[in-house]
Amino acid sequence: MEEEKQIELRSHEVQEILTDVPNWMIRYGISLIFVIIMAGLLLTWFIRYPDTVVGEAELTTMVPPTALVARSSGYIQNLRFAEGEMVKSGQVLAELLNPTNEGIIDSLKRVLQTFNLEDAKQTATALSGIAHLGQAQEQVNALYNQLIEYDELVNDPAFDHTIKTLNEQISYNRRLAALSEEELKVMRIEIAAAGEKFKADSSLYASGVIAKMTFFTNQSEFLNKQQSLIGIRKAAVQFGITASDLAEQRSQLLKTRRDSERLLTSQIHASLRSLNSFVDEWELTFSLMAPMDGKISYFTNLVNNEYVKAEQPLFAIIPDDERYVGIVHIDQQGYGKIMLGQRVMIKINNYPFQEFGQLRGSVESISKVAGERGYVIKVSLTKGMISTYNRELAYQPNMTGIAEIITDDLRLIERIFNSIRKIFDR
């Protein structure tokens, strides 16, 4: 048996196996596998696999763009600015077809803005050239009549003459009253002297020194002076009464004029408010004005005489502000991991990120209360509209995209170990 085994060990097939050298795969296969495993582990250390919270993003500026919509249905006219042009606050961008000409509205607006009650007649003259205002024409006509009446009231020469005459009469009567007072003083002195003389004559008459006729003459003279004193006193009182009556008449005339002026002023201001409201309503309904300085952007390719519907968005005014922000809406899941300053990558729907790259930002603020679309995260774009591919993306209102908030910048190997640890934690 031993001889047979030795013969078998030395057979040709066995000798071939024993004498042939194994190829390199068999000799170094284990080492190669070890090297590949170690290289894979090393790559997992360098490859980053961040933990992110994903949400819907909307780009805007620090001062949000303002959309202008049609307030009523109609045909659009007088498109004055092209896409991307700069506009100033208050400039008219376009109009809707309406029965009132814009030039008439501008004329009325200038009259209202430069209104001065002291120039009532001049304002009335300017209003006389404004027509074809529809329902507002009655208000314009009413204001015109009120201004004419007011001008005639405050510039009435007959009234001024009457007041001047009354003032003169009051002055004359007061002067006459003063002269009467002076005359009374003189008369009192004369009466005092006449009284002394009459007293002396009475003593002489009683002694029989003077005749009876002489005594009666002196007595009559004394009584006449007293009567004159009474007349002068009556005249002084009458002059005072006349001056007071004239002053009262003047006061009544002035009061009547003030009341009429106050009433007309109130009516004029009411008409002005009504016309200002008409102009504001006309501009709001038919005139599209820029609410602020910025760049105009069209929502659609508008052309003159195109029909638009009420509440249809027409333009957006983008403020000249290079500070862009992203408003990100996220669900409750992952909300607790978000912190201020965390990096954010935003993929814009308008620009495929494989070709244009992504926008970079950081978390600036976090809402405390969830709304209808979840929590709101405000993201400041650290490099504006410059993407990760160093390409500047053109901003347009209502740009949307997907935001990835990097809550933890993990390595791939850390993610693998975290997954393994999660299994064992169960």
Q: Pick from 163, 155, 153: which is nearest to 254 by CA?
A: 163
Residue 78: pLDDT band with limits 50, 70, 90: confident
Residues of the chain with pLDDT > 70: what percent? 79
Rounded to two decimals, what is the model's pTM?
A: 0.52
- Span 84-97, mean pLDDT? 87
Cα 70–chain centre separation: 20
Average pLDDT of the chain? 80
Maximal C-alpha separation, the chain: 219
Per the structure block, which two tokens stand in for 90? 């208050």
**Cα separation, 317 vs 88, whole angstroms:** 10
Of 199-203, 362-366, 403-407, minimum mean pLDDT range: 199-203
Mean pLDDT of the 158-162 span: 86
Top mean-pLDDT range of 30-39, 276-285, 336-345:
336-345
Helices (H), 12-135: 12-19, 24-46, 102-113, 120-128
51-64+321-409 adopts what CATH topology?
Elongation Factor Tu (Ef-tu); domain 3 (2.40.30)
Portion of the chain with pLDDT greater than 90, in percent: 11
The type of residue at 391 is R
Q: Are 320 and 339 in contact (CB under 8 A)?
A: no
Residues 6 or more apart in contact with residue 338 via CB below 8 angstroms: 53, 330, 363, 366, 377, 405, 407
